């Protein structure tokens, strides 16, 4: 693959060409950062959801699911801290009328200085050859030291300004550093202001502030407010978890990189309620379980890494991300957070309702602590799709694009293909379809030469092609072609079910994730 940027472009156009993902309302030239899942995309997405749901809910006796409303009482978002603190600092360029995140402009400036340091190091490494000691060079070379000092000063000034909510100081920093609009070079900036990422709308006929409600920016709060309902009605004992899959909305200032950062997206979140003091062990448990869940898919062990948060959010006492090697590099795919009793306590305070657990063992009542796992469904989709996309050079000199989607997640499990459109082969193929369709998503196609049909199935990631030929009519056997190896085997029709089941089994994935 030429380069990573190129790969993302190819994945985007392949997705559109074959019906995985389309730009939203494309006939009106699309809407930025909104996408629609097509006929194959929805199948892949449903399979990812099922893998997550089964691993979290079905495989854990003490985890149950819910599906809460997207609209919630507005006080929810006061209590969660989103009304006051779910902000990004933004700045507009007066000439280009473009809007940027002030923190991103500053980070990009710092990144440029880092690149200069790297170049300096590269040059020295070439000059000194084997004798080069990078550590020593970093700590003694005057140019590197001067640049590193610049970086530290910028980071400190920015951090202090943000902590003191001094947006004028952030603007001053942008001016002092001479940061220009990356598109036009203009330095004619507005003031910096905080921009809340929640979408607002109005409830029914009530207008003005009283009627304002928000589209939820995360699904987690729907779980917190239902903690007691589920605990009581399900007679749940600590530790127990509540899982949910649903839409979330964030008015991201810069939304880009395809479905990686959207304004409307889907989350799969699980809040695990525990006894205070046990958060360390549960945090470790969920870190291990979640990484195993990812690795069971076989996308490559080296495609993941943990990133521990040093600067913690106001609600957390430990937090990390599972990062995935996307075409744009390692980026956050999932977050695991030890949230203490922040959310439940805050909802107690704002609602005036007790959100406690009576512990029959210790005879005391307390607000449970929470460890949460939170993964973006769309980011997971992008991880699977971009990892699956492969251009292969074949022995006969031809090329094929194959989507090596893990078979359990593949949108279509098998294509049934009569070799020719006559002699009773289509009828026989339909008979096979009829039987398989109750258990698998199967696809029928009779148009074009068989080789072309195979290629089309490779391009959408179908694990098996079943070809019905004249011999089929005599012996009740078919050839079955496997996507990754392209090997073909003649098998009895009566064996098809078990061959496909074995390969596309969700069960074996779940067993690996255990
Ligand atoms: P980021 O730092 O990338 O903005 P975040 O730390 O704000 O993400 P969380 O609030 O922890 O994200 O949300 C949990 C998960 O939801 C993320 O790990 C990610 O997979 C997903 N997610 C968050 N924002 C978006 C978005 N705008 N588009 C798609 N997925 C998202």
- Name the nearest CA neighbour of 504 among 368, 406, 360, 397: 406
Determine the residue of 35, 258, 265, 270 to mutate for testing ligand 1's pocket, defined as the one with the most ligand atoms within 8 A of the Cβ atom: 265
pLDDT value at residue 76: 96
Cα 50 to ligand 1 centre (Å): 20
Helix 39-53, helix 506-513: angle, nearest 10:
40
Cα 335 to ligand 1 centre (Å): 8
Cα 326 to ligand 1 centre (Å): 14
Q: Which residue, by CA, sits nearest to atom 24 of ligand 1?
A: 261
- What CA–CA distance (Å, rounded) separates 412 from 19? 12
Dihedral over Cα of 231, 234, 236, 241: its sign? negative
Other Cβ atoms closer than 10 A to 380:
24
Cα 346 to ligand 1 centre (Å): 23
Cα 379 to ligand 1 centre (Å): 9
Query: Residue 389 forms beta bridges with which residues?
Result: 403
Determine the residue of 261, 312, 329 to mutate for testing ligand 1's pocket, defined as the one with the most ligand atoms within 8 A of the Cβ atom: 261
Cα 262 to ligand 1 centre (Å): 9
pLDDT value at residue 1: 47
- What CA–CA distance (Å, rounded) separates 268 from 138? 43
Q: Which residue, by CA, sits nearest to atom 21 of ligand 1?
A: 376
Helix 506-513, helix 279-295: angle, nearest 10:
140
Determine the residue of 312, 328, 379 to mutate for testing ligand 1's pocket, defined as the one with the most ligand atoms within 8 A of the Cβ atom: 379
Cα 375 to ligand 1 centre (Å): 8
Atom of ligand 1 nearest to the CA of 250: 27
> What 3-state class would DSSP assign to 396?
coil
Q: What domains can you pick out in the chain, each with its CATH number?
A: 1-71+215-393 (3.30.930.10), 87-196 (3.30.40.230), 395-513 (3.40.50.800)
Q: Which residues line ligand 1 (CB under 6 A)?
A: 218, 250, 252, 261-262, 265, 267, 332-335, 374-376, 378-379
What's this model's pTM, rounded to 2 decimal places?
0.89
Helix 142-163, helix 102-128: angle, nearest 10:
160
What is the four-CA torsion angle of 343, 356, 216, 40, rounded to 10 degrees?
110
The DSSP result for 230-271, as a single string, is HHHHTT--SSEEEEEEEEEE---SS--TGGGS-SEEEEEEEE
Cα 313 to ligand 1 centre (Å): 14
**CA-based max dimension of the chain:** 83
Cα 377 to ligand 1 centre (Å): 10
Determine the residue of 32, 86, 267 to mutate for testing ligand 1's pocket, defined as the one with the most ligand atoms within 8 A of the Cβ atom: 267
- What CA–CA distance (Å, rounded) separates 512 from 514? 5
> What 3-state class would DSSP assign to 216?
coil
The tokens 């799969």 sit on which residue? 268
Q: Which residue, by CA, sits nearest to atom 20 of ligand 1?
A: 376
Atom of ligand 1 nearest to the CA of 269: 14
- What CA–CA distance (Å, rounded) separates 379 from 251? 17
Q: Which residue, by CA, sits nearest to atom 31 of ligand 1?
A: 376
Radius of gyration (C-alpha) of the chain in whole angstroms = 27
Q: Which residue, by CA, sits nearest to atom 3 of ligand 1?
A: 332
Q: Which residue, by CA, sits nearest to atom 8 of ligand 1?
A: 332
pLDDT tens, the chain, 514 aa long: 446 668 999 999 999 999 999 999 999 998 988 999 999 999 999 999 999 999 999 999 999 999 999 999 999 999 999 999 898 899 999 999 998 999 989 988 998 999 999 999 999 999 988 888 988 999 999 999 999 999 999 999 998 998 888 999 999 999 999 999 998 999 999 999 999 999 999 887 766 677 889 999 999 999 999 999 999 999 999 999 999 999 999 999 877 789 999 999 999 999 999 999 999 999 999 999 999 999 999 999 999 999 987 667 777 889 999 999 999 999 999 999 999 999 999 999 999 999 999 999 899 999 999 999 999 999 999 999 999 999 999 888 899 999 999 999 999 999 999 999 999 999 999 999 999 999 999 999 999 999 999 999 999 999 999 999 999 999 999 999 999 999 999 999 999 999 999 999 999 999 999 8
């Amino acid at each position: 693959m030429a380069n990573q940027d190129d790969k993302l472009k190819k994945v985007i156009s392949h997705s559109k060409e074959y019906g995985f993902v389309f730009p939203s309302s494309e006939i009106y030239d699309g809407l930025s950062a909104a996408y629609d899942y097509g006929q194959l995309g929805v199948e892949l997405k449903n399979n990812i959801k099922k893998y997550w749901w089964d691993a979290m809910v079905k495989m854990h006796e003490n985890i149950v699911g819910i599906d809460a409303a997207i609209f919630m009482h507005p006080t929810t978002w006061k209590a969660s801290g989103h009304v006051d603190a779910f902000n990004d600092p933004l700045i507009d360029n007066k000439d280009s009328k473009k809007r940027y995140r002030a923190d991103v402009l500053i980070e990009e400036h710092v990144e440029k200085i880092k690149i200069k340091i790297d170049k300096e190091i590269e040059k020295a490494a070439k000059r000194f050859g084997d004798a080069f000691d990078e550590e020593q060079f970093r700590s003694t070379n005057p140019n590197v030291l001067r640049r590193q000092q610049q970086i530290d000063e910028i980071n400190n000034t920015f951090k202090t300004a943000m902590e003191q909510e001094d947006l004028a100081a952030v603007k001053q920093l942008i001016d002092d550093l001479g940061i220009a609009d990356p598109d036009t070079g203009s330095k004619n900036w507005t003031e910096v202001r905080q921009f809340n990422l929640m979408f607002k709308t109005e409830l029914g006929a009530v207008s003005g502030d009283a009627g304002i409600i928000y589209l939820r920016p995360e699904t987690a709060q729907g779980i917190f407010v239902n903690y007691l309902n589920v605990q009581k009605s399900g007679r749940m004992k600590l530790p127990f978890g509540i899982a949910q899959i649903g839409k979330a909305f964030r008015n991201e200032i810069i939304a880009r990189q395809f479905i990686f950062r959207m304004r409307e997206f889907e989350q799969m979140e699980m809040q695990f309620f525990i006894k205070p003091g046990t958060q360390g062990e549960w945090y470790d448990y969920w870190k291990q379980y979640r990484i195993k869940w990812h690795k069971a898919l076989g996308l490559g062990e080296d495609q993941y890494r943990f990133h521990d948060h040093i600067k913690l959010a106001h609600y957390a006492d430990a937090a990390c991300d599972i990062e995935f090697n996307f075409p744009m590099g390692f980026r956050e795919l999932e977050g695991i957070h030890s949230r203490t009793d922040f959310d439940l306590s805050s909802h107690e305070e704002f609602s005036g309702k007790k959100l406690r657990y009576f512990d029959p063992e210790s005879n005391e009542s307390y607000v449970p602590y929470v460890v949460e796992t939170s993964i973006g469904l769309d980011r997971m989709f992008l991880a699977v799709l971009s990892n699956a996309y492969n251009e292969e050079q074949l022995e006969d000199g031809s090329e094929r694009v194959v989507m090596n989607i893990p078979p359990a997640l593949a949108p279509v499990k098998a294509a049934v293909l009569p070799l020719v459109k006559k002699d009773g082969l289509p009828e026989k193929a339909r008979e096979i379809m009829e039987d398989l369709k109750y258990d698998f998503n199967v696809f029928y196609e009779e148009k074009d030469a068989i080789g072309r049909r195979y290629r089309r199935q490779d391009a959408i990631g179908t694990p098996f092609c079943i070809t019905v030929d004249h011999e089929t009519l005599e012996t009740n056997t078919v050839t079955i072609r496997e996507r990754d190896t392209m090997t073909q085997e003649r098998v009895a029709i009566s064996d098809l079910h078990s061959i496909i089941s074995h390969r596309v089994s969700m069960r074996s994935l779940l067993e690996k994730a255990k």
